[in-house]
Structure formats: C-alpha cells, structure tokens
Amino acid sequence: MRMSAREFSEWIELLRVDPWGPYRSDLQHALTAWSPIAAAGGKAKVEDFLPSDRSEDWRTQQTASIDDLLRETGAKITRRA
C-alpha cells in the first residue's frame, strides 16, 4: 500500500500541529502532576514537571526532525506564510 504525496504532507502537517510520541507522553504526565498543584493555588508551571532533557524548544526540534525526514525522501520543503 502506498501513500500519495498529498496524504503524506497532511500527516506531516498534523505532526507539526498536534505531535505524538515521547514528548507528547511526557507532556501528558506533566499535566497530570501539575493539575492538582494548580488547583490548590500552587505557582508551579507545567514545564517544571517535564524531564530536564525536554526543556529546549520542542517545536523547533520537532520541525527540524520532520524537515530531516522530508529531505531524506527528496521532498522539497516550503513554508507557508
């Protein structure tokens, strides 16, 4: 079974907008840990509950990974304004 270029680009765009994978899992657990503290008036941020190696701008990392994948397939990368 093959995927059309259009469908592939739709999956890539979805990954940019709503990522999945290890970071998403870390974020879900961080939200679970942060919620009761926030409800009790705590001043913690969700980022305080993320692993320290995830502290960098994950969207930049995610986009770079996607771009690398696209380059490997020979795709031309263009950005929407």
Quick: pLDDT tens for 48-70. Answer: 888 776 555 655 666 667 777 67
Task: Judge contact between 34 and 46, C-beta under 8 A.
Answer: yes
Residue 77: predicted pLDDT: 65
Q: Is the pLDDT of residue 44 over 70?
A: yes
How large is the average pLDDT for residues 38-53? 85
Which residue type sits at 54? R
Task: Judge contact between 32 and 50, C-beta under 8 A.
Answer: no
Q: Is the pLDDT of residue 8 over 70?
A: yes
CA distance 33 to 27: 10
